[in-house]
Amino acid sequence: MSEVRLERKLTLVPLIIVGVAYMTPMAIFDTFGIITDVTGGRVAGAYIITTLVILLTAWSYIQMVKVYPNAGSAYTFAQKTVGPKIGFLVGWAALADYMLLPMINVLLPRIYLGPVFPSVPDWLWAFSFAVAITALNIFGLKLSVRVTALLVAIQFAICGAMIVFAMWATPAESFTVQPLVPLDVTTVLAGAAVLVYSFLGFDAITTLSEDSHNPTVNIPKAVLYTALVGGGLFVAVSYFVQLQYPDVTKFDNLDGVSPQIALELGGPGFQLAFAFAAAFASLASGMASQISASRLLYVMGRDNLLPKRIFGYLSPKSQTPTFNILILGMISLIAVVTPLTVAVSLISFGALIAFSFVNLATIIHFLFIKKERGLGAIVSYGVIPFLGLISVAILWSHLQAMSLIGGITWLAIGIIYAGVLWRLKGIDPFAALAATAEVEK
């Protein structure tokens, strides 16, 4: 097993494709009704705030991945700088969003295709997409990226068509800045705290460092471009659609507004095209999220923080963490009985944990361990990450109670796992990791 390594197959463009697919360009429609309700019709404004927060934090990811171009992302950064035990908790928290996002991508097809094919049971959609996502990833990374690229292109076409339809239906005098300007800052921040999950693609790219050519160059570029592309698209689409739906009074079901919007703006033919595109967008995002999650599980298994025989295994043939992919596929089937709002809330908690500690790790590594000095270093490694920390803290303060309760419960399970099960087995993986970190410092 030690001779098998992740193969460096990905160049810059495929990395961006995976990142954008993970974000899912059409994800804006998944929560449009929910965020319209939360923000009072200021979805675009919430996306602007979230994009600014993400760009600040993306800066820290860019700095840290240059130092540690490993597949563990936030887990690795925190482990190497703050300490192995904190690193484990960060990785454990990140697992919540990494494992739940594939589940969301199995849940969404039933929302999109259910109204089009009412006679098909919901569980059949979930099962079919879980199997398809898992099978494509087991066959290897190259095939997954090729399929993902096609599906991302279709999503951009659908989003462009939605903008055109919305503009066509909006009289010139009805164009307004209302969707951009917060009526109530608190409600817009609450919406932004939920929308964090839409931007996880930039974070997921850093889990592919060991799958990438020249990762210290390509990964930072891919992180930045993915955040910019995703943020720009989300703001543009939400602005024009919000002009037609300034509040929730027109919506029949807040969890599933996309079929209704597609029908009313584009007609039955576009609704059908939208439903299929959105469902297969879930396939693209599901593949991308499963790829990233399987890499995080692999690194934590390789470090003996999870059972190594299972989670640290790579297939000699495909050079993929096959067991992890299968486990994630089985977890995603929970989507059959999980409401969308619950899954999204739990994902936001894990994402904010990761963002907080990557910003903190940047400050600690460069200013305290490496003792970088000078105005440029203070701004790059101190001011910007600190602003990232503050902005993430603001989102923390507006996180829903459901997210906090679910996230804290998940962390408690992780602490029990680390503190009880490992002690019973007489295993102390933290000692080896701490020694390695000291050598690297």
Interval 10-29: pLDDT, tens: 899 999 998 998 888 888 88
Measured between alpha carbons, how far is 84 from 262 in angstroms, rounded to an integer?
Answer: 48
Measured between alpha carbons, how far is 293 from 334 in angstroms, rounded to an integer?
Answer: 16
Estimate to the nearest angstrom the gap between the alpha carbon of 231 and the chain centroid. 13
pLDDT above 60 for 427: no
SS3 212: strand
pLDDT above 60 for 432: no
Question: What pLDDT is attached to residue 177?
Answer: 85
pLDDT above 50 for 1: no
* Burial bucket for residue 377 (CB in 10 Å: 0-12, 13-18, 19+): middle
Summarize pLDDT for 170-188 with one digit per residue, the tens: 888 888 888 888 777 888 8
Looking at every residue in the chain, the average pLDDT score rounds to 84
Measured between alpha carbons, how far is 47 from 237 in angstroms, rounded to an integer?
Answer: 10
pLDDT above 60 for 116: yes
Mean pLDDT, rounded, for 144-158: 89
Q: Fill in the DSSP letter of residue 198.
A: G
Q: Decide if 207 contacts 143 (C-beta within 8 A).
A: no
Summarize pLDDT for 133-150 with one digit per residue, the tens: 888 888 877 777 888 889
Q: Decide if 290 contacts 133 (C-beta within 8 A).
A: yes
Q: Fill in the DSSP letter of residue 41.
A: S
User: Per the structure block, which two tokens stand in for 416?
Assistant: 């029990």
Q: Is the pTM of this model over 0.85?
A: no
Among 316, 332, 327, which Cα is nearest to 294's? 327
Summarize pLDDT for 356-402 with one digit per residue, the tens: 999 999 999 999 999 998 999 999 999 999 999 998 888 788 777 77
**β-pair partners for 10:** 212
Q: Decide if 72 contacts 292 (C-beta within 8 A).
A: no
Confidence of residue 85 (pLDDT cuts 50, 70, 90): confident
Q: Fill in the DSSP letter of residue 10.
A: B
Q: Which residues contact 97 (CB under 8 A, 6 or more apart)?
A: 197, 200, 346, 347, 348, 349, 350, 351, 354
Q: Which residues contact 351 (CB under 8 A, 6 or more apart)?
A: 94, 97, 196, 197, 200, 203
**Pick from 81-85, 95-99, 257-261, 332-336: least confident:** 332-336
Of the chain, the end-to-end C-alpha distance in Å amounts to: 28
User: Per the structure block, which two tokens stand in for 303?
Assistant: 């470090």
CB atoms within 10 A of CB 72: 28
Among 243, 193, 257, which Cα is nearest to 44's? 243
Residue type, 211: D
Question: What pLDDT is attached to residue 195?
Answer: 84
